[in-house]
Amino acid sequence: MNINVQGDFEMKIKKFLSIILLVVILSFNSFCFAYEEDPDDWDYVWLDEAIQEVQQSQEISILSRYAVVYDRSSGTVLWGKNENTPVPMASTTKIMTAVVMLEQLGIDRLNEEVVVSKESANTIGSRLGLHTGDKITYNDLLYGLMLCSGNDAAVQIAISIAGSVPNFAELMNQKAISLGLTNTHFVTPHGLDRDSHYTTALELAIITDCALKNPKIAQVVSTKEYTVNINGYQKTLSNTNELLGYLNGVNGVKTGYTSKAGRCLVTSVSRDGFDIITVVLGADTRKIRTQDSIKLIEYTYKNFELVNVEQLISNEYENWRDINEKRIRVYKGKKLRPEIYIESGKYTMYPMRKSENIDITSTANVKFEAPVEKNTVVGEITVSKGTEIIDTIQIKTKEKIERKGVMYYFFEMMQLLKFAI
């Protein structure tokens, strides 16, 4: 009897331990693959729902915790929600990884092969599928980085270029500083959750704008599918960006997910020369980040338009010259009237709400006494919307005009006497 009881007890213990082990294994697998994107978890209905909501209301609300709409032509924020708050950004980190990679390598070295390290092959999360000793080109690593969000590709890029992940992260931080970013810091090239690895929605938009200025990166992130060659075997990659190919004008950029960062999506859009970047961070589900991104995009194109500020300034300058150029006088100067020029403005195009007007005004200062220095301000053109001044452009002298001296007056008198005689 005691033997049977003991046997039953041992069986129950073994069963209990087996269950615990199974839970641990499943938890580990969940941890490893929590960073995977869900390429099939997409419903076209999300698109219609989000667009319809924008069409039916004047303003929008989003569920993602952090977001921004960034105009690429002017570098201005068109819409924001906690856009300056530092937060984890998951695999959208790889946008900066691509920037540093291309800056360090240049375009000519992309076809060079590298040998995959053990550290890269053992990287968890979303993967290109590299194994220790595999041979692959930098070009295919770049596609693996940006299309299928390969963490193994990110680590291999870092090791091949900088010798180690920390060294490469330092290059990323140096680039962030050069862009004027003050709330961004990198620890890894892939974006798996780490302390002190963060950015803001706005600064991520600035990084993305920098990335898209590189034609190679712009080409890669706009690609739906690409076939890479790993150790002689071909593998077709699909872009994890759910809006690419589904929404008008979308041409990139990058998805991301970790448990701390939530669902993240950076999107670039171009419609009729109006180029924007939207960033959504901290969404609870893929549906939320998708619909929030669509709302931001459709809201922007519904309510904003680009104004050719450069042309408006040029027109005002011509009017200013017609009125004021011949009125400029330099008293006691060796030259009566200086040559003038107008400085370049900050913007060529500027985004304006369709309900707002842009105002162009000008002032002039036409009376001077010599000497007059080169680059003396003779007028200003101001660009504003309401009470907000967008830009002030100065009109200046091209040359220095010296004051007449005694001898100069003497020679003038002699010339007058000569003509009188």
Give 279-334 pLDDT, tens digit per residue.
Answer: 999 999 999 999 999 999 999 999 999 999 999 999 999 999 999 999 999 998 88
Instruction: Enumerate the β-bridge partners of residue 380.
Output: 363, 394
Asked if residue 100 lies in contact with residue 145, where contact means CB atoms within 8 angstroms, the answer is no
Selected residue with higher pLDDT from 43 and 115: 115
Given this model, what pLDDT does residue 25 score?
Answer: 37
Tell me the domains of the chain and their CATH numbers.
64-283 (3.40.710.10), 308-406 (2.60.410)
Region 364-373: mean pLDDT is 93
Region 18-47: mean pLDDT is 48
CA 248 – CA 252 distance, rounded (Å): 12
Selected residue with higher pLDDT from 57 and 212: 212
Selected residue with higher pLDDT from 34 and 296: 296
Write the CB contacts of 59 (distance below 8 Å, at least 6 apart in sequence): 299
pTM value is 0.85
Given this model, what pLDDT does residue 152 score?
Answer: 97
76-92 pLDDT per residue, tens: 999 999 999 999 999 99
Smallest Cα–Cα separation from 277: which of 60, 66, 69?
69
Q: How confident is the model at residue 171 (pLDDT cuts 50, 70, 90)?
A: very high
Asked if residue 329 lies in contact with residue 367, where contact means CB atoms within 8 angstroms, the answer is yes
Selected residue with higher pLDDT from 66 and 11: 66
Smallest Cα–Cα separation from 148: which of 166, 169, 125?
125
220-243 pLDDT per residue, tens: 999 999 999 999 999 999 999 989
Q: Is 236 exposed, middle or buried (0-12, 13-18, 19+ CB in 10 A)?
A: exposed
Residues carrying an active site annotation: 91, 94, 149
Q: How confident is the model at residue 405 (pLDDT cuts 50, 70, 90)?
A: low
CA 58 – CA 48 distance, rounded (Å): 17
Residue 252 gets the label, from left (phi > 0), alpha (psi -120 to 50) or beta, of: left
Given this model, what pLDDT does residue 19 score?
Answer: 52
Residue 123 has pLDDT above 60, yes or no: yes
Residue 344 gets the label, from left (phi > 0), alpha (psi -120 to 50) or beta, of: beta
Region 197-216: mean pLDDT is 98
Residue 187 has pLDDT above 80, yes or no: yes
Q: How confident is the model at residue 35 (pLDDT cuts 50, 70, 90)?
A: very low
Region 355-361: mean pLDDT is 94
Given this model, what pLDDT does residue 241 score?
Answer: 92
Question: From the CB of residue 380, how many other CB atoms can be counted at a distance below 10 Å?
Answer: 18
Given this model, what pLDDT does residue 421 score?
Answer: 59
If DSSP codes are grouped into helix, strand and coil, which group holds residue 199? strand
CA 130 – CA 217 distance, rounded (Å): 22
CA 402 – CA 331 distance, rounded (Å): 10
Given this model, what pLDDT does residue 208 score?
Answer: 98
